[in-house]
Structure 1
């Protein structure tokens, strides 16, 4: 399915997790799906794709109909291996939790263009960080909660360790209020920090060695080959400019921005990439500027991250350069943009 919006596409498997949760709450989703442009009677197979904008519209409709600020958290209770498409079955066949985590970053696009994951180990802790791609402020909060809750629940199921607790969870959105905060604590059994600079699960490094219940290296290799074919199919239906933007976005969130690496990921030389972008009336620098601006607006509007830190994350050596570039594009300074966004919320 060709990507038609900046939100890309999402697997039907991810949608079905929300449908299961709604069904258990006796929420009628037929009209919500129809309103989002999705035929409830003819949803394709779980590994098929739906438009990301329609998925976002459905989640917004579901949240509005339910009037529940922790709907995303509760939908995480309904995660299944199939919720992650073929990636879920790959992780099931891994030998340890650490091995399963290593498959998230290269294959998370199979679940959908929901966001980007980073993983690293620091001292005796492991960190899973997730950057949400969704723009609707209500949907963004629900999707963040869903992703983090699903991670924790699925990791517990994979390792057959239902009582395993993270050391801490950080969420970029505001607290839903004291009446609801206990729901996070009850499920995760650890400190939960709201209005954080990013969305992050921190856990003991030793959990990486937890053995999984169904290791099968032969099956994993077969499934990985299938995943690679699916990834290739998705990329074939994604326009070059979108592919480059996605690659740049992923790089920036990893702290780099290099044209040669992007070109290599797309199977061409840097010169060939530049020539093809020129045919499209663009350039690597234009796309880099566009992605930087989009990420800057996202971080300014949805996190409390200090402006100098945002500038550093986006590859600017000086905050003044970031201020100048942002104002040239948006017409206002980063600080003014943040204040306007706060007033609009």
Structure 2
């Protein structure tokens, strides 16, 4: 099994469409990464994450565009999201469409993990890329967030913009920063710990163009069947991370409940993770760190409550672990990394 999982041909096509508008010889690029054009003819097929990562690097080289991923978002369409795209089209509101991302995103591929959080006056849509080439990751994150926005505007017939966007990538030139602001229509913050769109809750109630409840039910049944097939192919570590990520911000789930969700015993889960040179604790600790950083930056929760939510018996244990992760205390991290609240932008 590929260490980077797989990606649907539907997602690949968006990058190739933009490459063609840039007069890039896509046939030559595909040949250079040993990806047959015949493989792209069937949108239900999937390629390995390694192939997709190599393809993006090759397209970047030929495009000479440092914002290639951001600009690819201009070509997003329902088919770009596989069955998820058509499911979202048939929801009644934008909020209902967003709620379908997490359960069905693996239909698009294993490129990353999404999560959605709801607050009193705004909501946050996150995406964490699973790839390992920094140049490729930044392009994919740009594309993911910009595509979400472009697609959301299309299915609502709207022109709305987020409250703000946060990106992990380093700040680009001033000219490029302006391109980000033009694309998203809001302040964009770089060098952050999360890649996220911050949305007005009012936008979640926007009606979609042509909702069809009966078709939605049919599509979701089809999607569940496809996911069941994919689960048999996907690395267990990714499935465990995905299951944990769905629950961790509401508290640390029990190991046996995660194993049960994956239809196996805790002992079997541990054994299979060891075969992948991984462990449940490693995956949990990584998510604990990511979640702690999120709570410190994007909420006003007291450090003591964050510690409890993340399963620490006392704040001192949390402080000690957090300092090992980030070399600073939780309080220092919050003060040093703070960015404006959505309402201040």
Judge same fold: TM > 0.5, yes or no: yes
Matches within 5 A, 1:233-252: 233-240=229-236, 243-248=239-244, 251-252=247-248
- Indicate how the Cα distance of structure 1 residues 68 and 322 shifts in structure 2: closer, same or farther if over 3 A, else same: same
Structure 1 distance, partners of 2:178, 2:152, is: 21
How many angstroms does 1:318 deviate by?
2.6
Which residue of structure 2 aligns with residue 342 of structure 1? Answer: none
- Indicate how the Cα distance of structure 1 residues 285 and 53 shifts in structure 2: closer, same or farther if over 3 A, else same: closer
Which residue of structure 2 aligns with residue 37 of structure 1? Answer: 34
Structure 1 distance, partners of 2:118, 2:54, is: 36
Which residue of structure 2 aligns with residue 196 of structure 1? Answer: 192
Determine if contact 1:110/1:230 at 8 Å carries over to the other structure: yes
Matches within 5 A, 1:145-156: 145-156=142-153
Structure 1 distance, partners of 2:276, 2:57, is: 34
Instruction: Confirm or deny that 1:75 pairs with 2:67.
Output: no
Which residue of structure 2 aligns with residue 10 of structure 1? Answer: 7
- Indicate how the Cα distance of structure 1 residues 150 and 293 shifts in structure 2: closer, same or farther if over 3 A, else same: same
Instruction: Confirm or deny that 1:22 pairs with 2:19.
Output: yes
| 3-state SS in 2 of match to 1:182 | helix
Which residue of structure 2 aligns with residue 112 of structure 1? Answer: 109
Determine if contact 1:70/1:176 at 8 Å carries over to the other structure: no
Structure 1 distance, partners of 2:129, 2:247, is: 15
Residues 199-232 of structure 1, C-alpha deviations (whole Å, 9 max, x = no match): 1111210111100001000000000011001101
Which residue of structure 1 aligns with residue 338 of structure 2? Answer: none
Q: Which one of 192, 209, 213 corresponds to residue 209 of structure 2?
A: 213
Instruction: Confirm or deny that 1:288 pairs with 2:285.
Output: no
- Indicate how the Cα distance of structure 1 residues 226 and 65 shifts in structure 2: closer, same or farther if over 3 A, else same: same
How many angstroms does 1:255 deviate by?
5.6
Determine if contact 1:148/1:201 at 8 Å carries over to the other structure: yes
Determine if contact 2:39/2:45 at 8 Å carries over to the other structure: no
How many angstroms does 1:6 deviate by?
2.1
How many angstroms does 1:64 deviate by?
2.0
Determine if contact 1:172/1:196 at 8 Å carries over to the other structure: yes
How many angstroms does 1:256 deviate by?
2.8
How many angstroms does 1:240 deviate by?
4.5
Structure 2 distance, partners of 1:153, 1:224, is: 23
Q: Which one of 56, 67, 86 corresponds to residue 59 of structure 1?
A: 56
Structure 2 distance, partners of 1:252, 1:188, is: 29
Q: How large is the Cα RMSD of the aligned pairs?
A: 3.0
- Indicate how the Cα distance of structure 1 residues 174 and 50 shifts in structure 2: closer, same or farther if over 3 A, else same: same
Which residue of structure 1 aligns with residue 96 of structure 2? Answer: 99
How many angstroms does 1:248 deviate by?
4.1
How many angstroms does 1:291 deviate by?
2.4
Which residue of structure 2 aligns with residue 121 of structure 1? Answer: 118
Residues 234-288 of structure 1, C-alpha deviations (whole Å, 9 max, x = no match): 01223545533543465557763531221232134xxx2314644x484999612
Instruction: Confirm or deny that 1:223 pairs with 2:215.
Output: no
Structure 2 distance, partners of 1:281, 1:212, is: 42
Structure 1 distance, partners of 2:257, 2:277, is: 14
Which residue of structure 1 aligns with residue 267 of structure 2? Answer: 274
How many angstroms does 1:114 deviate by?
1.3
How many angstroms does 1:156 deviate by?
0.2
- Indicate how the Cα distance of structure 1 residues 32 and 314 shifts in structure 2: closer, same or farther if over 3 A, else same: farther
Structure 2 distance, partners of 1:125, 1:27, is: 40
Determine if contact 1:117/1:129 at 8 Å carries over to the other structure: yes
Determine if contact 1:248/1:262 at 8 Å carries over to the other structure: yes
Instruction: Kindly tell me the number of residue pairs found equivalent between the two proteins.
Output: 312
Which stretch has the larger CA shift, 183-192 or 253-262? 253-262
Structure 1 distance, partners of 2:277, 2:23, is: 50
Structure 2 distance, partners of 1:27, 1:165, is: 31
